[in-house]
Structure 1
C-alpha cells in the first residue's frame, strides 16, 4: 500500500482506558467548552478594555487565540474516538491536522518566549520599555512568531506528507502525531526523524533556554528592589507566565525531545491529552484569577454595560 492508495487512517484513540471512555468524553467535552469560552473571554476583554491594550495583554490575546486554534485541531477528533471504537480520518485531513497541530504549538512556544522578553524589558529596562515595545514592534514580533513556526513546520511536515504507508493505516494514537505516522511508513524515515528532533531542539529547548535566561535577569532585578511591596508587585506579573511555561515545557520535553519518535508510550499519550485539552483550559484561569488588572477591567466592563442598559431603560421609559 503506497501513499496514493491510502485514502483514510483509523485512529485507535486511548484503548487502555476503554472502559472509561464515556466518562472521559463528558469530561473532555466540558474541558473543551470551558477552554473555548475562557480563551474567548480573554480576547473580548482585551479588545474592549483600553486599560488592557498594552504589550503584555496584546501577546496574551495572541496566546488565547492560539489556544483556541491548537485545541480545536485535536480535541473534537479525540472526543469522537471516545465515542466510537473505529474512528476514521481522511488522508488529507490527517496531514492537515499534523501540520496545524505543530504549527500552532510552535507558535505558542514562540509567543511565550516573546512574553518573557516583554517581562524582561518591563522589569529590567522600565525607562526604555515604552520606547522599545511600541505597537508596531508588538505586531512585528507577533507576525514573526507565526511566520517562523509556519516555515519550520511546513518543511518538516512536507516530508511526512511525502511518506509511503504500506504496513497499515491504523494510527496508534488519538490524532495524527509524528510518532505513529513514522511507525506506519514503509520508507526510510531517518531524515524526517532527525529533522523532527532538530525542530524540537530549536523550538522547545532554545526557547526554554531564552525564557530561563530572561527570568534569571528578572529575578535578579526584583531581588534588588528595596521595597517588599515593590518586589511582590513585580513578581506577581511573572508568576502566571512562569506557571504556564513550567507545565507546558515539562510535557513537551518528555513527548518530543527524544532520540526516536517512532514509539508512543502510554505516558506520552496521557501527556498529549493534557497538552491538547487541559493546558488550554487552565491558561485563562492562570492568567486572570490572580490578575488585579483583569479583574478591574471586568468590573469596569460590567459597570459600563449596566450604565448603558440603565440609560436605554430610562430613555424607553420617558418615551
Structure 2
C-alpha cells in the first residue's frame, strides 16, 4: 500500500488538474484507484473514477455498475460508467483497446480531467516484448511513457515502476474485491501468452529480473529517442521553405535524424498513419535517387522530388497535373 501511494503522490502534487482513475475492477487499476483516493485528501486534488463497459461479455453492464459502486465507496467523485462502441478493426484486442481509449478521452474532456491508468512494470515489459517481436521500431520498444499528451487529453501512468504482484497485494491488504478478466488469461490473445508463457520462461532461462531489465531498457531507449526527436525538431524549424525540404538541407544528416525530419514534415502536412516503409521510400528520394516517381502515402497523399526539393501532394491536389519530376544526375 505504501509503495502504491508513493507512486501516485508526486503526480498528484505536481498539478492541480483533476484526475479520473480508469478502473476495470482488476487488481492493478483498483489498487491505483485506492491509492489515489487516499493521497487526494492531502494533495487537495479532486479524484474521480471511470469504468468502461465494452459490452463484449455477458453481464458486463452489471459488472461495470459494481465497479462504480466500489469506486464510490473509496471516496472517488465523480464516478462514471461509460460505454465503448467496439468495432472490428485491429482484432478483438486492438478494437477493444481503441474503443476504450475513445470512451476515456471523451470522459476526460467532458470533466476537464486527466486519465490515470493502472499499467505496471510488468505491463511495460510485455509491451517491450511485443514491440521487439513485431519489429515496429525503437519507439514501440521504448514502451509506455509516464505522462503523454494526445488530442487534448493527459494520460498518466504512475505505476510503471510498480510490480503487478505489489498491486494485487495492496488490494488484498485493503480487502478490495478484485475481478480477474478471463480475457487476460485466454491463450488466444498474444499478450496473455506473453504473460503466462514467455516471460516466465525468460525468467527461468535468464535467472530472473527480466521484467525490470526490459522496463529499464525501455527507459534508456526513450532518453535517446527523445534527444533525437529534439534535434529533428530543431532541424525541421530551420528548413528554408514551407513547400518542402531542399535536398541539400537534409540529405547529409544521419539516417535516424533525417528520417525524423521527414516524419515531422509529413505529419505537419497532414499525412496520417505513417509507417516505416513509407519513410524509407521517401528517404530514398533523397539519398538513393534514381529518377523514381511519386511515393504514395496513407490518406491519398504522395511525395515527389522536383527541382532539388521534395514536394508533398495532398489528396486534394490530385486533380491538378503533377509537376515534372527531377531527372536523376548521371
Query: TM-score, normalising length from structure 1?
Result: 0.27
Structure label with greater radius of gyration? 2
Identify the structure with the greater helix proportion: 1
Query: TM-score, normalising length from structure 2?
Result: 0.27
Higher relative contact order (CA 8 A, sep 6+): 1
